[in-house]
Every structure is written in structure tokens, then in C-alpha cells.
Amino acid sequence: MDVTGAAPGVLVVEDDEALAGYLDDNLSADGFRVSCARGAGEGLRALEARRPDLLVLDLMLADASGLAVLDRVRASDGLASRIDPALPVMILSGRGSEADRVRGFARGADDYVVKPPDSVFSAVSSGMRLIAIRIGMPNSSHVLILASGRIA
């Protein structure tokens, strides 16, 4: 919980309904407030509206590249777009080659988790550590997950 006592919020932007449902069910059971969106455009709008503390982003979204979303986050001014350019970003992707990881980190990702993660919760725990570093407290009010892919 943040200083207001609100549970961390999670927005899952996922074009695979099964994976979105899996993340929604499991993260809700773990005490997160979960919302779902279906693509990069909707996710970018949610970034502006919800102002999350963490973005978990897949590289292969149906309507745009996850790297394009990451570029948009890093290029934002934090005012007109209402997207924080210092937002911690964790990529969650089925693309796990060294080149993919290097590309993600070079574009500004803070962490890179290959799907399927051993545990959704270990991936989110990693993200929560990024939040704690960013805001200096163990929990936060919003977490944004942008993901796309299949449950293996």
C-alpha cells in the first residue's frame, strides 16, 4: 500500500485473453487492483490517465511495437503527455535472445523478464523493487502491466 493506504493498481494490456485473465486472476488474488486493456494505444491512454509507478511491457503487441511504447515513455515530458519519462519499465516478452535483451535495455528498460516467467509473482516482485527504489517506499498505488503472448 502507498501512503494513502491504496493497494497497488495493475493495468494489464494484453491481446491474449487467456493470459490477461490469468494475470488478472492471480494478481487480484495477491491483493493488486487489476484492470485490463487490449493494446498499445489503449495502454498509452491508460498511462496518462492512471499515472502508474511501473510499466511491464511486452515487445510484440498487436497494434504497435512495445519498443515504440517504451520510446514514447522515455521521450515524454511528464507534463503535456502526463507520462512520467522516469517511469520504471520492465519488459515481459517471449523474445528472450541476448540481442532482444540488449535492445530493450538500450532503449531504456529497467528490467527484462522472458515469458513465461517462472512465476508472475516473481516478475511483479522485481517490478515492485523498481517502485521501491523510485519512490523510496516498499509499495505503491499503481502498477501498469503491458503484456502480450501465450501461456506456455
pLDDT (tens digit, 9 = 90+) per residue, 60-106? 888 998 899 999 999 999 888 889 898 888 888 889 999 999 999 99
Report which of 112, 92, 94 is spatially closest to residue 103, judged by C-alpha positions.
112
Q: What pLDDT shows up at residue 149?
A: 41
Mean pLDDT of the chain: 77
Strands 111-114 and 9-13 come out as unpaired
Q: What pLDDT shows up at residue 148?
A: 46
Q: pTM score > 0.85 for this model?
A: no
* Fold held by 9-146: Rossmann fold (3.40.50)
